[in-house]
Amino acid sequence: MTERAPPVVSMDAITKTFPGVKALDQVRLDLYAGQVTALVGENGAGKSTTVKILTGIYQPDGGTIRIDGAPIKFANANAAGAAGITAIHQETVLFDELSVAENIFIGHAPRTRLGLIDTAEMHRAAVRLLDSIGAPFDPRTRLRDLGIANKHLVAIARALSVDARVVIMDEPTAALSHKEIAELYELVETLKAQGKAILFISHKFDEIFHIADRYAVFRDGAFVGAGMIADIDEDALVKMMVGRTVDHIFPERQPNVAEDVLQVVGYAHPTEFADINFTLKRGEILGFYGLVGAGRSEFMQSLFGITKPSKGVCKINGQIKVIRSPADAVANGIVYVPEDRGKQGAVIGLPIFQNITLPSLGRTSRSGFLQLAEEFKLARDYAERLDLRAASLDQDVGNLSGGNQQKVVIAKWLATQPQVIILDEPTKGIDIGSKAAVHDFMAELAAQGLSVIMVSSEIPEVIGMSDRVIVMRDGRIEAELADDALTPETLVRHAAGITTPAQMEEA
């Protein structure tokens, strides 16, 4: 049996630290020839960091990588490629204006004796590669003329063009339809038959049980367990993935839930989400959980007026309001703290105080004319309430740390005295200290009667902070959970669309 064979690649006691965060702590991972190993873990478990170390993008701080038992170090991505490790990323960088063959061989195209690109040989090699993965198109096709699934095949062909022994697939099915996923499975079987070791990263359990031979579970940057898929069931795998000791104390809260503030009825969008109905009460923290791509941010942005919904109404305090732009949303007391702080949140280049007063200029100015003293007063008030760490209020917001930029964005919105604040991944990428400050502040705001919607992919945060949680999957509300029904297992099940054990027994 192949199981007896030693692993092709073996990572042992790999550690990687980023400023303030231990991304990987003594993890190990073995990949075997002709087998698919599924790497399972929540967001932030260290999967992406592992991929980046295997492909030479990051260098580990400690531990060893062995190929066929021999220790090896990758100085850069080329070194990993030369060692036969290749990755198909979620969003591989491809070039729309180049042909399929040029995309496959960019950087390592076959050359003629004169050093020019040997187009004929390149096309022959491309045809061979495309045939081997069952891709039915001409290598001369311009990439932009292909659909998303075929682009993916090009990315795969490109990964295989370096004569790989180890193929890493990072959420390869995230953007594919059912039919395309079935084709991808066939391709994985082909690669297995060719004896390649495959690392398969996915959040979808049905996929993992369908395609993988082995599994490895990471949690919070640490190795939890590994074994054969045949020896484990979904339940046990979910438990390994989320079962944790709570190491962060969330603030105690007394939900003083009162009247409805926001009602959303039948919100739909042509491609991103459909049939969204829920109500939000005064002083409530409503969590939104789901996998990446479940449509949470897209829905929140349409509630905030960035994208227009195709259907649906939004009622604030019982009155129907039409929100066509963020300006309308702010005027109606709905504000949004985006996930992408640098681009959508802070206006980098403007000083801190101008960032904070930007949506409140109507109040700090007099008939359209700025009043700097008023602006400084308002900005100082909220900056100090949020314990902002800054040298001065006229400092460029771009010079602040991520956590402090987030505080400026939150201060900006609180200064508008909103009724509903939507926080999209409010603590993503910020240090533990700032995280706790943001959590405390959210609890305080809710206690003061502000209604909070929190989009988060961090299970402890969702459970620790929310009064109720709405789980979204594929653009729809999958479940609404509260009290005893709100557990890590139920969240993961609904987000991944796994049937409950009870239903499985009935079947």
Partner 1 sequence: MTDATSQTRHIPDRLHSRLYATLRSWEALLLAVAVAIFIVNSFTSPYFLNAWNLSDATFNFTEKAMIAFAMALLIIAGEIDLSVASIIALASTAMGFAAQYGAGTPELVIIGLTVGLLCGAFNAFFVTVLGLPSIVVTIGTMSLFRGISFIILGDGAYRGYPADFAWFGQGYVFWVITVEMVLFVIIAVIYGVLLHKTNFGRAVYAIGNNPTGALFSGIRVQRVKFILFLLTGLMSGVAAICLTSRLGSTRPSIATGMELEVVTMVVLGGVNILGGSGSIPGVVIAAFVMGLVTFGLGLLNVPGIVMSIFIGLLLIGVIALPRLWTMIAARRAKP
Residues binding partner 1 (CB under 8 A): 304, 306, 325-327, 329-331, 336, 338, 343-350, 353-355, 358-359, 361-362, 365, 368-370, 376, 380, 383-385, 387-395, 412, 416
Nearest CB to partner 1, comparing residues 15 and 344: 344
Nearest CB to partner 1, comparing residues 93 and 369: 369
CB of 367 to partner 1, least distance (A): 9
The sign one gets for the Cα dihedral 489, 458, 446, 318 is: negative
Half-sphere exposure of 201 (CA within 13 A, CB side): 22
Kindly state the helix (H) or strand (E) to which residue 80 belongs, with its residue range. Answer: helix 77-82
Nearest CB to partner 1, comparing residues 79 and 347: 347
- Name the CA dihedral angle for 137, 138, 143, 144, rounded to a multiple of 10 degrees: -70
Nearest C-alpha neighbor of 185 from the set 172, 196, 204? 172
CB of 274 to partner 1, least distance (A): 24
**Would you give the DSSP letter of residue 257?**
-
The SS3 assignment for 418 reads coil
CB of 392 to partner 1, least distance (A): 4
CB of 20 to partner 1, least distance (A): 21
All residues at 6 or more sequence positions from 281 whose CB lies less than 8 Å from its CB, including other chains: 257, 258, 259, 260, 261, 451
Nearest CB to partner 1, comparing residues 128 and 377: 377
CB of 340 to partner 1, least distance (A): 8
Nearest CB to partner 1, comparing residues 232 and 358: 358
Nearest CB to partner 1, comparing residues 52 and 407: 407
CB of 280 to partner 1, least distance (A): 20
CB of 377 to partner 1, least distance (A): 10
Residue 289's DSSP bridge partners are: 471
Nearest C-alpha neighbor of 410 from the set 331, 341, 332? 341
Query: What is the spatial distance between Cα 191 and Cα 193, in angstroms, rounded to a whole number?
Result: 5
All residues at 6 or more sequence positions from 261 whose CB lies less than 8 Å from its CB, including other chains: 280, 281, 282, 316, 317, 419, 420, 451
The sign one gets for the Cα dihedral 14, 293, 490, 471 is: positive
The SS3 assignment for 224 reads strand
CB of 325 to partner 1, least distance (A): 6
Nearest CB to partner 1, comparing residues 102 and 339: 339
CB of 330 to partner 1, least distance (A): 4
Cite the DSSP H helix spans in 133-277.
Answer: 148-160, 178-193, 205-211, 234-242
Strands 9-18 and 21-31: antiparallel
Nearest CB to partner 1, comparing residues 388 and 453: 388
Nearest C-alpha neighbor of 38 from the set 191, 235, 197? 197
